[in-house]
Structure 1
Amino acid sequence: MDDKALKARVEAELEWEPSVDAADIGITVEDGIVGLNGHVPNYAQKVAAEAAVKRVKGVRGFVEHLQVQPTPSAHSDDAVASRLASILDWTVEVPADQVKVKVENGFVTLLGKVDWQFQRAAAEHAVRPQQGVRGVLNEIQVKPHAQASDIKQRIQAALERRADIEANQIVVTVVGDTVRLDGKVRAWFERDVIEHAAWAAPGVAKVDDHIAICL
């Protein structure tokens, strides 16, 4: 697929995505690599725009330079932090008193330790769309509590259950609480599915994704 056709597909996908206001997003494409420039009103739209690009068939990679320019707000960092702390308290997937919030100039840092990756992801998902949030740095740690062999078996079993993934093309290496993924897939969404399976295994604190996309 040539770059002009790919750009048209990316533009169409961003326009179709209801959670993204693409009016101020510029798109460039060079040799299958998509560049996003411009600004969006909140961090959640920035993440949604990235996800939309990754869904498009033919995208070999992307470079994202979107800036978050929230609407003017009188809320201080202290007020934002207080509101986010309350939201996390009400998020059932996040264990009570395990996650702390730091806010500086609208940029949020999440701190603490949890037992599962889905709890780490739930905390980030809860704070992303909130007013005044310009970015999120997730430094929540996952407590290791599983053997490397068990992690590897769980990941491979999850991949084999997926009809759209050729599990025998993926190599899973586990050292301690770190998973390394190698191999080849046909589309970016398959890479995301595999990485999600790796994160879903108990005790995984880090995933090094080296899977290549072969169109």
Structure 2
Amino acid sequence: MTTAAAVRTDERIQRDVLDELAWDAQVQPNEIGVSVHDGVVTLTGQVDAYALTWAARRCAQRVRGVRAVADEIEVRLPGEPGRTDAEIAIAASRALEWDSFVPAERLDVTVSDGWVLLRGEVEFGWQRRTAEWELRRLRGVRGVTNLVDVRPVIQPDAERRRRDLQRALGRGLGTERVTVELDGDTVVLAGVVRSWWERDEAERTAWSGEGVRAVRNRLLVGG
């Protein structure tokens, strides 16, 4: 099988990633270095917000032929006085409270040197992901450690959960090349998808399933 990575040179992928970074208004391309080896993109440099590292990774993943992305970007806050840990903690608590899909009353936030530690319990895996997404966008945040546990009220039948997820992936992606296995409360995705968007969409779908506490995404991006 011929993959997108096989028909595109590393030099061409590097140029396209640099162009994608320059095109995306969220990213300052002069802050980020790009190298490519065998279709694997390595991002380096320094940015002043954690959210920018995520935006840069998404830029690289959108480029055709990229097999994987190694993020070595450093988050370094500006030298001038910024948000204190206390201010970040207050902003984080408010962000969680404002999101109606997140049970903020069951979550606990602590901040040390700009790094946010998130603890607590939620009923669904997607709530865990949503809470982290709210926090990593905040100004002054250098990173997020998500220790939130997923504890469903009722544990559904494992085989039914697997079948339901398999059907949901078929409806969303229109392909049977993605398989679902359950390892306890962990969903394991395997197979081949056509793009990074499909890979992310498969993972998002898996997190939406009942009783999912973790997702191992082993999907390969191919032709």
- Both structures adopt the same fold (TM-score exceeding 0.5): yes
**Contact 2:10/2:39 (8 A) holds in 1:** yes
CA distance in 2, matches of 1:14, 1:75: 27
Q: Which residue is 1:136 aligned to? A: 144
Deviation at 1:39, TM superposition (A): 1.1
Q: Which residue is 1:22 aligned to? A: 29
> Kindly tell me: are residues 41 and 74 of structure 1, through their superposed partners in 2, closer, same or farther at Cα, counting changes over 3 Å?
closer
> Kindly tell me: are residues 74 and 60 of structure 1, through their superposed partners in 2, closer, same or farther at Cα, counting changes over 3 Å?
closer
**Amino acid across the alignment from 2:169:** L
Q: Which residue of the other structure, out of 12, 31, 52, is the alignment partner of 1:45?
A: 52
**Contact 1:178/1:207 (8 A) holds in 2:** yes
Question: Given the alignment of the two structures, is residue 63 of structure 1 paired with residue 70 of structure 2, yes or no?
Answer: yes
State the 4+ residue runs in structure 1 displaced beyond 4 angstroms.
none
Q: Which residue is 2:104 aligned to? A: 96
Unaligned ranges ≥5, structure 1: none
Q: Is the partner of 1:97 in helix, strand or coil? A: helix
Question: Given the alignment of the two structures, is residue 84 of structure 1 paired with residue 105 of structure 2, yes or no?
Answer: no
How is 1:176-191 mapped onto 2 (pairs within 5 angstroms)? 176-191=184-199
**Contact 1:170/1:184 (8 A) holds in 2:** yes
Deviations 1:20-74 (A, max 9, x none): 1222100011111111000111011111111111111100112111011223334
**Amino acid across the alignment from 2:167:** A
Q: Is the partner of 2:212 in helix, strand or coil? A: coil
**Contact 1:38/1:65 (8 A) holds in 2:** yes
**Amino acid across the alignment from 2:121:** K
Q: Which residue is 2:161 aligned to? A: 151
CA distance in 2, matches of 1:75, 1:160: 45
Q: Which residue is 1:10 aligned to? A: 17
**Contact 2:103/2:122 (8 A) holds in 1:** yes
User: What is the TM-score with the length of structure 1 in the denominator?
Assistant: 0.92
**Contact 2:14/2:35 (8 A) holds in 1:** yes
CA distance in 2, matches of 1:70, 1:146: 45
Q: Which residue is 1:170 aligned to? A: 178
**Contact 2:35/2:41 (8 A) holds in 1:** yes
CA distance in 2, matches of 1:188, 1:86: 32
CA distance in 1, matches of 2:76, 2:218: 33
Q: Is the partner of 2:166 in helix, strand or coil? A: helix
| Percent identity (aligned) | 36
CA distance in 1, matches of 2:104, 2:57: 31
CA distance in 1, matches of 2:82, 2:28: 23
> Kindly tell me: are residues 5 and 96 of structure 1, through their superposed partners in 2, closer, same or farther at Cα, counting changes over 3 Å?
closer
CA distance in 1, matches of 2:82, 2:34: 32
Deviation at 1:103, TM superposition (A): 0.8
Q: CA RMSD in A?
A: 1.6
User: What is the TM-score with the length of structure 2 in the denominator?
Assistant: 0.89
Q: Which residue of the other structure, out of 110, 123, 146, is the alignment partner of 1:115?
A: 123
> Kindly tell me: are residues 185 and 79 of structure 1, through their superposed partners in 2, closer, same or farther at Cα, counting changes over 3 Å?
same
> Kindly tell me: are residues 152 and 39 of structure 1, through their superposed partners in 2, closer, same or farther at Cα, counting changes over 3 Å?
same
